Structure 1
């Protein structure tokens, strides 16, 4: 009970900016007799009928500070005519209308404030979402750029190793190819020199002719194989050089690299037919024609041999 009285009393004093001693009030409320007297005094003088509201207390303080309260207290208020019921009612109605207008205006302002707050929140969310999207896209682009750079570096290293291996193979096989070509040319010279003699003895089942044709096919296939490997090695070196230049550039063009690779693959498919045609025209066909010309009976067998040797599948298998 004492705590309730203490809280009520101190709240009234504090709301009206009246200084008070908390300890003195609490000490007085701890005494049962004083507590009863204080409670009765509060009920009599601090009730709604006798206690000024906060606004009334503030108005009185203002009037007292300006001296207006003393002037009004000194006036004779008996000469002031009071308001009749109609005037009071009209004043009340006018006050109600004013209050309603103020409330309506307050609601409109509140709605505007809510709309503005919602707009600000939406704008803030939109800006945050846009910022997050931009940051996410930037991180994604950086990650993709790192992956592409790493892939290009790995591919460049791999091609460098392959190019080095192919270069070693080319150097190792260059001497062998030259020797093979020389052997083929010498063999062709000997073969052409003995074609006339062999033509007279040409027989479909003659083993010497079969060995010669087999030897010719084998030599042509080996020549085609080494020619194809040499051309492919040069193309690989060109592709590796172009890829390294693209990787060193600030903005690697992946489309250009892809187009170059597709063009190389297209060239790869054309190397074998061209090399085959060249070998046939320079060595195989002249040799077989010479054999066929030596004896009319060997023409059919030579034609069959030419057709067999000219098949791409046969050359591919030998290479």
Structure 2
């Protein structure tokens, strides 16, 4: 039974996060290479703006911010699931190589397969999922011991090894490709939000609409998987089946996100930790908060990065890494 005080605290934090997201979106709509006056935002949203105002807002700013928000949510939820099923606070889809697997699949698809503009947007999450799934299965196999089960520390080490190997494979692919396609892959690796148009929103939204409720439905199972395996088995949990289902969920969320945002790490690491620090380790409590924190962190990183220097700005992946890498080192030393 969850205490009423914790539920009340959760609702307050959720309201604060929704307010922060709303403020960040309003600020992001006004600032940029082509600035918009804040007193013109509401008329433009209501369809009373000039052609330039409507073009900047509806074709450039809003889709990019919505994509960033949704991708941050997906990465945060993926990280929360991975940390739960592996019982390892350092698990993150970017750190343990799942994002790299998705990236290699996207690179191979982009470089060597004929691309049709109409289906490209919707195929990308599926291609990324296939690459991420193969990588996750290999990591799982190499981390699993018949006697000891899944070994959390070994999983992170194996995942980091796969991530490095796949990064090397990406460099090999880049070296054999033509210049125009290389530019795209390089931006993807840096975590540049490239999928900034409305079709990309419709491509990623169904994944979140399905898997956020599904994960909340499985929250009790995640709580039990966070305990020792004998305890989980003792209360009737089919550990391996639940772990595989939830891992597939985490892989699907991460691959859908990185297919449109590029190789972004650390969101899935930081957001669940911040949420747990606020409301405790119960998945029913911290997962909704982690999802909003992840969305807000990536939205903030992209908004700051694209306005920091020049017209191109700094990729969101680099901005997140500037914060996330020291945090990862702190957790590594602590654990």
Larger radius of gyration: 1
The answer to whether the superposition gives a TM-score over 0.5 is no
TM-score range normalised by the length of the shorter chain: under 0.3
TM-score by length of 1: 0.23
Pick the structure with more helix per residue: 1
Q: RCO (CA 8 Å, sep 6+): is it higher in 1 or 2?
A: 2
TM-score by length of 2: 0.22
